[in-house]
Amino acid sequence: MSDKNTKVNQDYVGKEVEFRVLRYDPDKDIAPYIQSFKLKLEHGMTVLDALMRIKETQDPSLSYRKSCRMGICGSCAMMVNGFPKLTCQTQVSEYDLDKTIDVRPLANYPILRDLVPDLRNFMRMHEGIKPYIIRRDNEELDKFIGEFAQSPEELERYLQFTYCIKCGACLAACPTNATDENFTGPQALAAAYRYVADSRDEGLEERLVALDEPNGIWRCHYAGACSEACPKGVDPSLGIQLLKREIFNHRLLGKKKRPAPFAETPEGVERREDIPQAPEKTVRE
């Protein structure tokens, strides 16, 4: 560690900082309120670390979500000083420690309790765009005999949109979502583009039911706030604009995508021996 970094760490370790945390218990509170906690900072303390310490030493009733603590699962997304952040990878020392640090649940969601947002509508929108590969030939999927061919260039078309961890930060930043709870939302729209752009997929027509409707993709005004808030650099606003182009080409120009075929070996299409067999279906039609 450099002398400069050591000096910075010595400046904040042991400093007492005030955290203003939104509290709300629907079983007993009429409305949300703010509760203040003071905490002495430790080296490398994140906002999530601070909340955990508050719960352990000051108020065990404090509620929040967390899981991996590695910036992967997205569970701990919250508003920190008015901006959506993954609290597990947000250092307390990033902020002005002479001022209070305000922590609230993600904006634009109902509150279940304290810092826990209700993500049911978020997940409903995600499920609505059918986030999986769709092929017209169901028998081809049920009796799979080989791998679909996809070039590195075709992979690059959608790769960055696969990095979404469904933390919900993009919806918390979205001004359209703030005024229209039925808006499909940037996460679901970018996820839809991820599959539409996939050379193996044929599902655009099926997804238009959720996309090309009054609260769908055309409600996006391209504010770009979702991309600014995304902790993984997915850039949902870019995905939305690219998806608009795909819909335009499909609706007005009648362009149809030819799906990726099976990859062929010198002997033809065959199933590799190291590919396990699919399990029996758990849902019967």
CATH number of the CATH domain containing 109:
3.10.20.30
Whether the predicted pLDDT of 278 surpasses 90: no
What pLDDT score does 271 carry?
Answer: 62
Structural domain count, the chain? 2
Domain shared by 126 and 67, yes or no? no
Q: Which amino acid is at 104?
A: R
Q: Could you tell me if residue 281 is inside a domain?
A: no
Burial of 229 (0-12, 13-18, 19+ CB in 10 A): buried
Domain shared by 155 and 33, yes or no? no
- Confidence at 29, pLDDT banded by 50, 70, 90: very high
Q: Which amino acid is at 235?
A: D
CATH number of the CATH domain containing 224:
1.10.1060.10
Read off the pLDDT of residues 165-201 as tens digits, 9 standing for 90 and up.
999 999 999 999 999 999 999 999 999 999 999 999 9
Read off the pLDDT of residues 118-149 as tens digits, 9 standing for 90 and up.
999 999 999 999 999 998 877 666 666 777 88
Domain shared by 111 and 32, yes or no? yes
Domain shared by 131 and 168, yes or no? yes
d(CA 211, CA 190): 11
- Confidence at 15, pLDDT banded by 50, 70, 90: very high
Mean pLDDT of the chain: 89
What pLDDT score does 136 carry?
Answer: 83
What pLDDT score does 251 carry?
Answer: 82
- Confidence at 6, pLDDT banded by 50, 70, 90: very low
Structure tokens at 185: 């939302």
Read off the pLDDT of residues 39-82 as tens digits, 9 standing for 90 and up.
999 999 999 999 999 999 999 999 999 999 999 999 999 999 99
Domain that holds residue 199: 120-251
- Confidence at 12, pLDDT banded by 50, 70, 90: confident
Domain shared by 88 and 179, yes or no? no
What pLDDT score does 2 carry?
Answer: 43
Domain shared by 237 and 184, yes or no? yes
**Per-residue CA distances from 266 to 63, 151, 263, 269, 270 (Å):** 59, 18, 10, 8, 10
SS3 content of the chain, % helix, strand, coil (to 5): 35, 15, 50
Domain shared by 101 and 193, yes or no? no
What pLDDT score does 272 carry?
Answer: 65
Q: Label each residue of 37-57 as H, E or C.
A: EEEECCCCCEHHHHHHHHHHH
Angle at which helix 236-251 crosses helix 204-211, to 10 degrees, equals 110
Domain shared by 108 and 165, yes or no? no
Read off the pLDDT of residues 253-277 as tens digits, 9 standing for 90 and up.
766 777 776 666 656 656 666 766 6
Q: Could you tell me if residue 264 is inside a domain?
A: no
Whether the predicted pLDDT of 212 surpasses 80: yes
